């Protein structure tokens, strides 16, 4: 055999032929991007050398690697892994992921309805989206999704695209989830029926009595401010004088919607939030500038460990200006600002460009180490295990990051918004039997069945009469238990007795929504909240603290315990 015959045949694909052109364009675009965002940076030579090395390795793999590979997948994987060396919130989305992620805030979609994050190759539920099927069956913030239809959804290489592909799907289709939940030794199995995920972000707006109004905001999407403003004006027309603003479980969204809402409460041109980054072009101050709808009147804000980002911006502004009493538990602690950069192929980089600060100067970003996302992702579990969710004394405040509100009250940075009034998580009605009812959707299915058979009788009265007079009977509970047993859930009397108040309340709430709630426009679920809120310990605490909220608005801080 001649030497000429020993040479490998050159048979480059069209992609390989175009590779130098593609990489040349990418390199030029990268340098342009770098010069745009980081002009004058002394490290640009290092960036250029990095591009050159990456191009060299990519070409060697494409031309010489023993097996066929997808260069596009390698590039996506490389970018994802590179960004893991940065903060926990900088992220890359390929074309499909970017479109799916944008739909969370901009338009509706079919799926199970969860806001999630991937940390250390594990999918964590940030919060179930209000009104969606995951919330309905009892998925909670902090749950870890281990498997979807017996297919593993954890481990090295899990991507946003994997999650979207497995969890989204045509409405009406079912999906089985294996969930790991903090505080439980055994994993849980949930069957979720995919549905249209509501695009509305104001989930409830109603008058509690002749003076107190309640508004629940579930996320900060494109339409949130308009929805909120409309709800607030409607309540004012009904006599609103005191307001409960519920931001629990709200994972955030558009910062501008949060500051616009804050401006409805805060007078003058007071500072609402400011941002600071490495590049001064990302430094920005946002101030109040309009005559707000509710600049007078006591306000109470409800928060918990699922309240993040834009929720914390709104609550921080109101707390720092002594405009609202914050009740609940320490919020999530996300104080980093991401700029979405749409790349040439439709993919998207969400790059952390600055930190935001509340008017008093505090950053509420909780601690993290660059490139070490595991502890960060486990934060909610750590809070549970440390007892922080149940005892205010277990909250570890960083005394080196102390600030003062306008009125001189102490507040702390470096780990979320601390409540003015702490309320522990209520677990008194929790039981494994209850979680199994959630997992197999028993409560909702029974309530809908009852509503269908009794609707003609129920609609003869108003919802107000139903709310005051309707009782979930022993006979109804026996039917529900029977349905659960047929579904394979073993009846455990002690656990049922413990959870019965919540089972009855949720049954009544779902019946009420089904019979009367369809008359609402704008996606409101007032019937559900009007039934369930009186059973909620944080809500009940809020109702009893309007005297303190009034003192706060009046500048009388003697009745308020400062966090010192």
Q: Catalytic one among 143, 246, 304, 320?
A: 320
Spatial CA neighbour of 161 closest among 82, 218, 91, 108: 91
This prediction's pTM: 0.78
d(CA 267, CA 287): 10
- Taking the CA atoms of residue 457, residue 459, residue 465 and residue 471 in that order, the dihedral angle to the nearest 10 degrees is 50
Could you give the percent of the chain with pLDDT greater than 70? 87
Tokens of 294: 């509710």
Q: What pLDDT score was predicted for residue 36?
A: 47
273 and 255 in contact (C-beta within 8 Å)?
A: yes
Q: What pLDDT score was predicted for residue 165?
A: 83
Which three-class secondary structure state does DSSP give residue 193? strand
d(CA 91, CA 351): 7
Spatial CA neighbour of 215 closest among 550, 427, 533: 533
Q: Could you identify the residue written with the tokens 């413990």?
A: 498
pLDDT grade for 478, boundaries at 50, 70 and 90: very high
92-136 pLDDT tens trace: 888 877 877 766 555 457 889 887 777 667 888 867 776 788 888
357-375 pLDDT tens trace: 999 999 999 888 886 666 7
Q: What pLDDT score was predicted for residue 27?
A: 43
Q: Catalytic one among 130, 260, 311, 334?
A: 334
Residue 4 has a CB neighbour count (10 Å cut-off) of: 6
- For residue 341, the cross-strand partners are 349
Q: What pLDDT score was predicted for residue 103?
A: 63
Pairing of strands 336-342, 410-412: unpaired
pLDDT grade for 499, boundaries at 50, 70 and 90: very high
> Is 320 one of the annotated active-site residues of the chain?
yes
375 vs 424, more confident: 424
Give the residue-averaged pLDDT of 518-533. 84
């Amino acid at each position: 055999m001649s030497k000429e015959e020993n040479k490998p045949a050159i048979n480059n694909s069209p992609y390989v032929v175009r590779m130098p052109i593609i990489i040349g364009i990418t390199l030029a675009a990268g340098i342009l991007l770098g010069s745009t965002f980081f002009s004058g940076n002394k490290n640009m030579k290092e960036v250029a050398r990095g591009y050159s090395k990456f191009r060299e390795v990519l070409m060697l793999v494409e031309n010489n690697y023993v097996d066929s590979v997808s260069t596009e997948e390698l590039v996506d994987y490389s970018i994802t892994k590179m960004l893991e060396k940065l903060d926990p919130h900088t992220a890359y989305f390929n074309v499909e992921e970017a479109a799916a992620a944008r739909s969370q805030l901009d338009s509706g979609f079919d799926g199970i309805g969860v806001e999630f994050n991937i940390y250390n190759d594990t999918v964590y539920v940030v919060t179930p989206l209000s009104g969606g099927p995951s919330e309905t069956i009892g998925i909670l913030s902090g749950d870890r999704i281990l498997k979807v239809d017996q297919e593993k959804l954890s481990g090295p290489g899990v991507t946003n695209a994997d999650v979207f592909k497995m969890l989204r799907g045509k409405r009406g289709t079912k999906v089985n989830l294996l969930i790991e939940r903090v505080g439980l030794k055994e994993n849980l199995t949930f069957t979720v029926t995919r549905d249209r995920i509501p695009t509305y972000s104001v989930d409830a707006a109603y008058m509690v009595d002749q003076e107190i109004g309640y508004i629940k905001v579930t996320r900060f999407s494109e339409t949130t401010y308009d929805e909120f403003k409309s709800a607030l004006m409607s309540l004012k027309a009904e006599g609103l004088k005191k307001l409960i603003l519920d931001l629990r479980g709200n994972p955030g969204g558009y910062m501008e919607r949060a500051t616009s809402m804050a401006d409805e409460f805060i007078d003058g041109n007071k500072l609402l939030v400011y941002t600071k980054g490495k590049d001064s072009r990302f430094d920005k101050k946002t101030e109040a500038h309009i005559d707000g709808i509710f600049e007078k009147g006591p306000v109470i804000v409800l928060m918990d460990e699922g309240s993040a980002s834009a929720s914390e911006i709104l609550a921080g502004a109101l707390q720092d200006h002594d405009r609202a009493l914050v009740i609940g538990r320490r919020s999530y602690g996300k104080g980093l600002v991401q700029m979405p950069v749409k790349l040439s192929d439709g993919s998207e980089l969400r790059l952390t460009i600055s930190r935001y600060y509340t008017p008093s100067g505090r950053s509420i970003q909780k601690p993290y180490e660059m490139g070490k996302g595991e502890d960060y992702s486990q934060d909610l579990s750590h809070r549970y295990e440390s007892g922080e969710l149940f005892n205010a004394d277990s909250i570890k405040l960083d005394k080196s990051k102390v600030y003062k509100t306008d009125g001189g009250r102490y507040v702390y940075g470096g780990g979320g918004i601390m409540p003015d009034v702490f309320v522990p998580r209520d677990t008194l009605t929790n039981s494994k039997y209850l979680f199994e009812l959630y997992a197999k959707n028993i409560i909702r299915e029974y309530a809908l069945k009852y509503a269908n058979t009794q609707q003609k009788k129920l609609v003869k009265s108003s919802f107000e009469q139903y709310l005051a007079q309707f009782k979930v009977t022993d006979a109804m509970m026996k039917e529900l238990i029977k349905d659960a047993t047929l579904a394979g859930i073993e009846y455990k009397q002690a656990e049922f007795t413990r959870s019965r108040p919540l089972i009855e309340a949720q049954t009544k709430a779902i019946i009420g929504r089904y019979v009367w709630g369809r008359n609402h426009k704008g996606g409101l679920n007032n019937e559900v909240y009007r039934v369930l809120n009186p059973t909620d310990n944080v809500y009940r605490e809020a109702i009893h603290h309007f005297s303190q909220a009034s003192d706060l608005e009046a500048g009388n801080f003697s009745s308020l315990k400062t966090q010192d």
